[in-house]
């Protein structure tokens, strides 16, 4: 089993072990609401070049956003790239990552189930 599948299995286990009241509370927090607002937003890199769009927001156990999966622009690829939410800066309607297009494209794709 590769590292991506192992990480997905661990994340799935954490999600399943979270109690229902905690999960319900987390969905109602402002951080969780702002994370949902990120879906579909553009992510730009250095020089304003479009890297892709937010496909999914990965949350911590308390519901706060931790990472975003960004689907690269252009033809379909192996999968989205994972970026730490703390590395993204708010700019207009989207986010800006401290990466060039070449650096972003060189990142490994994340397997999404």
Predicted TM-score of the model (pTM) = 0.67
The answer to whether the CB of 104 falls within 8 A of the CB of 51 is: yes
State the Cα angle at 64 between 73 and 11, rounded to 5°: 75
d(CA 26, CA 44): 28
Query: pLDDT at position 72, please?
Result: 92
pLDDT for res 112:
75
Looking at residue 11, its pLDDT comes to 43
Q: Which residues of the chain have pLDDT under 50?
A: 1, 3-30, 32-33
The encoded tokens of residue 107 equal 């990142």
pLDDT for 84 equals 94
User: What is residue 113's predicted lDDT score, i.e. its pLDDT?
Assistant: 72
Predicted pLDDT at 15? 40
Q: What is the pLDDT of residue 47?
A: 92
Strand partners, 82: 69
Q: Specify the pLDDT at position 79.
A: 87
Phi, psi (degrees; rounded to nearest 5) at 57? -110, 125
Contact 85, 96 (CB under 8 A): no
pLDDT, residue 76, reads 74
What mean pLDDT, rounded, does the chain reach?
A: 76
């Amino acid at each position: 089993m590769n590292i991506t599948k192992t990480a997905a299995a661990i994340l799935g286990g954490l999600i399943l072990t979270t109690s229902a009241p905690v999960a319900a509370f987390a969905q109602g927090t402002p951080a969780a609401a702002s994370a949902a607002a990120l879906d579909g937003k553009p992510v730009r890199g250095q020089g304003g070049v479009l890297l892709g769009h937010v496909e999914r927001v990965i949350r911590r156990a308390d519901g706060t956003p931790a990472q975003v999966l960004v689907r690269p622009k252009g033809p379909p690829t192996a999968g989205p790239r994972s970026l730490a939410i703390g590395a993204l800066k708010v700019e207009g309607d989207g986010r800006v990552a401290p990466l060039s297009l070449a650096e972003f494209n060189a990142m490994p794709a994340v397997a999404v189930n």
